[in-house]
Amino acid sequence: MADTATSTLHVELVAADRTVWSGEAAMIIARTHEGDIGVLRGHAPTLSLLSPSVVEIQVADTNQLVVAAVDGGFLSVANDRVSVLAERVEMAEDIEVSQAEVDLEEARRVLDSSNEAEQRVRHAEARIRAAEKVKKGI
């Protein structure tokens, strides 16, 4: 099967209510609970849990970089097909940094009181990082 496949990865970045991005990519970088993972063509089939973090997709045959923030979810790789699933996925271009900072502050304030707050802090941080990454790139 590998010899008939093209030399790219097919990536689907899917949120609960829509497909955020889908297309061919050269590489995808995400952060799992175990640490950062980079997926190239021919990667072994993997299913892993993601942390709230930034996902980077190097679009095939261009220098374009797609950056998005996820709030957890999964990464599944099989037969050069990668799907990233998360309840909430935001493209870096769509993230309002000021809003994310407000969320971060709020989440930090309640950090001691609930377990969920830690998730929220990480998610907010990931959104800010994603937005900043895109700005620097431009």
Return the half-sphere exposure (C-beta side, CA atoms, 13 A cut-off) of residue 64: 8
**Piece in contact with other proteins (CB under 8 A), picked from 55-63, 66-74, 91-99, 119-127:** 66-74
- Comparing CB distances to other proteins, the nearer of 77 and 95 is 77
Segment contacting other proteins (CB under 8 A): 41-49, 97-105, 107-115, 122-130? 41-49
The residues, any chain, with a CB within 8 Å of residue 22's CB and separated by 6 or more, are 10, 11, 12, 13, 14
Closest C-alpha among 74, 25, 39, 78 to residue 53? 74
Least distance CB 138 / other proteins (angstroms): 29
Return the residue of 33, 62, 63, 112 that touches other proteins, per CB under 8 A.
33
CB of 77 to other proteins, least distance (A): 9
- Binding-site member from 9, 57, 60, 72 for other proteins (CB under 8 A): 72
Question: Which 1-30 positions form the footprint of other proteins (CB under 8 A)?
Answer: 1, 12, 14-19
Q: Does 99 bind other proteins (CB under 8 A)?
A: no
Q: Could you give the CA distance from residue 93 to residue 18 in angstroms, rounded to a whole number?
A: 17
Q: Which residues bind other proteins (CB under 8 A)?
A: 1, 12, 14-19, 32-34, 37, 44-49, 72-74, 76, 78-79, 83, 85, 87
